[in-house]
Amino acid sequence: MAGKCKYAYHTDEYHGYGCSITEGACMFLYPDSKKCAEEYGEGPDVEEVYGTDNEREQEDKE
């Protein structure tokens, strides 16, 4: 785990952090899974930020 995200890892490419979800550079200079969930809807904190899939589907219908 690198920074505040369990999907980030240290690398000598990009700006020092890669992402196992995007298979590229982490979108943030310092990995932050909650921020990633808020801005991109990805990462380990998606359910914490948006709730379960069923809750999201209900919100989309409204």
What pLDDT shows up at residue 22?
Answer: 86
User: 45, 8 in Cβ contact below 8 A?
Assistant: no
Which pTM value belongs to this model? 0.62
> End-to-end distance of the chain based on CA atoms, in angstroms?
37
Look at residues 1, 51, 46, 47 and name the one whose alpha carbon lies nearest to residue 26: 1
What pLDDT shows up at residue 17?
Answer: 92
What pLDDT shows up at residue 54?
Answer: 45
Look at residues 9, 4, 34 and name the one whose alpha carbon lies nearest to residue 22: 9
Tell me the average confidence (pLDDT) per consecutive run of 10 residues in the chain, 62 residues long.
80 86 88 88 82 57 57
